[in-house]
Amino acid sequence: MSVRTPIETRSRAIPVWAVAFTVVVFIVGGVYFAGNLAGENPPIGGGGGGQDVAAQAQAIISQAQCQSCHGPDLTGNIGPNLHNVANGPTSDNLQELGASHPDDWPNLWIAGTDPAVAGIDRGGMPQFGTTLSEEQIATVVEYLKSLQ
């Protein structure tokens, strides 16, 4: 029978540089995570950062196919003209909604899911609150209010 001799090993299991590197990574990650909780960091996936409101809104309008009813320049076709929305509703069916909700009537109208718009003749206008987020609707409204 042969006698086996043990292989010599170092006394430290983890090198100091590896421990230091790990600590730095955790500190940097923690600072980034804490900044995200406060909303200070841009999204990693490129959630539209750097795109202006007009470009974002036009992309949403195109996705929702608003031009099919409101025309290619949103001046009206089957649906009403969407210019001068900042001055209040131009359609007769929306006058009461505009009077009772002067600041957010366009958001309510586009979403179409709020009880405030129940009973108003939508004239074929879809309820976009089921397909667009509140943020997307707010972006479109901000853009529409800029159109003269």
Domains along the chain with CATH numbers: 53-146 (1.10.760.10)
* pTM attached to this predicted model: 0.64
Q: pLDDT of 94-111, one tens digit each?
A: 888 889 989 899 999 999
Q: What percent of the chain has pLDDT over 70?
A: 86
* CA atoms of 142 and 24, how far apart (whole Å): 43
Q: pLDDT of 14-41, one tens digit each?
A: 888 889 999 999 998 888 777 766 655 5
Contact present, 61 and 67 (Cβ < 8 Å): yes
Q: pLDDT of 47-95, one tens digit each?
A: 444 468 888 989 999 999 999 998 888 888 888 888 888 888 888 888 8
Burial 42-81, CB ≥16 within 10 A → b, else e: eeeeeeeeeeeeeebbbebbeebebeebbbeebeeeebbb
